[in-house]
Amino acid sequence: MADYRELWSKLGIDLEKHDKLCAVLPELYGGTYLTQKNRPEGMNYFNFVVAEVHGLRIKELDEHKKSGGKVVGTFCVFVPDEVIFAAGAIGVGLCAGSQFWVEDGEKVLPRNMCPLIKAFMGAKVGGTCPYFQSCDMVIGETTCDGKKKAWEVLDDYVPVYVMELPQMKREKNYAQWIEEIKEFISKMEELTGNKVTVDTLREGIRIANLKRKALKRLYDLRKYKPSPISGLDVLLISQIAFYDDPKRFVEKLNELCDELDERVKNGVDEGKKRLMITGTPMALPNWKLHSIIEGLNAQVVVEETCTGTRYFENEVDEKGETIDDLIKNIADRYMKINCACFTPNTGRIDDIIKYTDEYNVDGVIDFNLSFCHTYAVEHKAVEESLKEKNIPVMQIETDYSTEDSGQIKTRVEAFLEML
């Protein structure tokens, strides 16, 4: 890796602490990813991205900023990338998937909160994430109590702008969301000094859709028996999708999919059990559950999560004459996301049932980050609907620590034997 210390230093990184993080990641990645057998060649690009995780992309952000561009951080699939692209900014979905950041997060947040929130807060408070340090602004949303209130604390460290996501999906809620997107456009125009026009917004939509199409293509390939790619690799790709350069990402992902097309033709089914993960997001580098499952010779073939289908399903309609038309199209697409933050959220159950068929799933693991109330309460409905279809389901609630890994392994093992 090139020496980026000068750049990190300029960004206000706590170099000493950051070194500790940099020391952990390669080992974790090596043990989890590079030990996989028969990986597609196309994964080399993503290996490279991980190797350069705090390097090359940070340099790109720096160059963008040097030429007057802005960088905004996001933490949720509801913040419309289309608008960020249209305003000429770079959006980075901030990673918050490591136990490393939790301790610093707990300095300013309660302990019994979801690890994702504590981790992103800790990354900023401790100054150990160069992405976060590159952000001119963070775009928050009101998807859960934890994040909604954490923005207030985070705002002491970096400017935070919060979009109010409606809590229901009635007709008036669509109108409210349209208004929020309009205000977000104004905010981004103010931040970047660039006017969002019909043309730039349409181009923003096009780029975001290309990403969705490529991810959808990848996921469709997993429907084959056997899936031509591990769940671990797909999870990594999904995680990288949040912060990589979108055009390069799409190109590289499509190259990988070309290779997978070939693999599918020669696939020999080894009878691995096919699992769906549903529930809460897995931010980089949270590979804990996938690693356990695939270490047990089963395969994760679909994630109904924010780092899975909820991120790419449904494209934004690119047709429309006016900016209002396009904004409406954006609002429509985002309101189709079946997040547990809505009440009711029966569409998510429909999605899960649909995916069990489409992906030929043997069993479902309902994954819940500790203290995430919305998904935890929905578990009952998820379980009931899957039981009706005779599909085994197990709930796993965990955080980023490895303390319970042994216990989870035992439980997953027992679950797999039952399938």
Among 85, 151, 184, 219, binds its own copies (CB under 8 A): 151
Q: Is 146 in the site for its own copies (CB under 8 A)?
A: yes
Q: Is 11 in the site for its own copies (CB under 8 A)?
A: no
Distance of CA 75 to the CA centre of its chain: 8
Q: Which is nearer to its own copies, 148 or 225 (CB)?
A: 148
Q: Which is nearer to its own copies, 155 or 332 (CB)?
A: 155
Which parts of 222-345 fold into alpha helices (H)?
231-241, 246-265, 288-295, 309-312, 323-334
Q: Which is nearer to its own copies, 232 or 337 (CB)?
A: 337
Residue 241 Ramachandran class (φ > 0 left, ψ -120 to 50 alpha, else beta): alpha
Contact in structure between 121 and 153 (CB atoms under 8 Å): yes
Q: Which stretch binds its own copies (CB under 8 A): 233-241, 297-305, 328-336, 337-345?
A: 337-345
Q: Is 373 in the site for its own copies (CB under 8 A)?
A: yes
Q: Which is nearer to its own copies, 176 or 314 (CB)?
A: 176
CB of 290 to its own copies, least distance (A): 23
Interface mask toward its own copies for 254-293; x: CB under 8 A = ----------------------------------------
Q: Is 150 in the site for its own copies (CB under 8 A)?
A: yes
Among 63, 103, 152, 357, binds its own copies (CB under 8 A): 152
Start-to-end C-alpha separation, the chain: 44
Q: Which stretch binds its own copies (CB under 8 A): 103-111, 215-223, 357-365, 409-417?
A: 103-111
Q: Quick count: other Cβ atoms within 10 Å of Cβ 1?
A: 11
**146 CB burial (10 A radius; 0-12, 13-18, 19+):** buried
Among 19, 56, 158, 176, binds its own copies (CB under 8 A): 176
CB of 296 to its own copies, least distance (A): 26
Among 98, 134, 142, 200, binds its own copies (CB under 8 A): 142
Mark 110-136 as b/e (b = at least 16 C-beta within 10 Å): eeebbbbbbbbbbbbbbbbbbbbbbbb
Q: Is 178 in the site for its own copies (CB under 8 A)?
A: no
Q: Is 166 in the site for its own copies (CB under 8 A)?
A: yes
3-state secondary structure of 136: coil
Measured CA to CA, the distance from residue 238 to residue 313 in angstroms comes to 13
Give the number of residues in contact with its own copies, rule: CB under 8 A: 40
Contact in structure between 128 and 101 (CB atoms under 8 Å): yes
Contact in structure between 55 and 1 (CB atoms under 8 Å): yes
**Omega into 226 within 30° of 0, i.e. cis?**
yes
Q: Which stretch binds its own copies (CB under 8 A): 151-159, 209-217, 253-261, 309-317?
A: 151-159
Among 378, 382, 386, 412, binds its own copies (CB under 8 A): 378
Q: Is 383 in the site for its own copies (CB under 8 A)?
A: no
For CA atoms 386, 145, 117, 164, give the dihedral sign.
positive
CB of 373 to its own copies, least distance (A): 4
> Tokens representing 78?
């509801």
**Omega into 344 within 30° of 0, i.e. cis?**
yes
Q: Is 172 in the site for its own copies (CB under 8 A)?
A: yes
Q: Which is nearer to its own copies, 81 or 397 (CB)?
A: 397
Q: Quick count: other Cβ atoms within 10 Å of Cβ 353?
A: 16
Q: Is 371 in the site for its own copies (CB under 8 A)?
A: yes
Q: Which residues sit at the interface with its own copies, rule CB under 8 A? A: 108-110, 112-113, 142, 144-146, 148-153, 162, 164, 166-168, 172-173, 176, 179, 340-341, 343-345, 370-371, 373-374, 376-381, 397
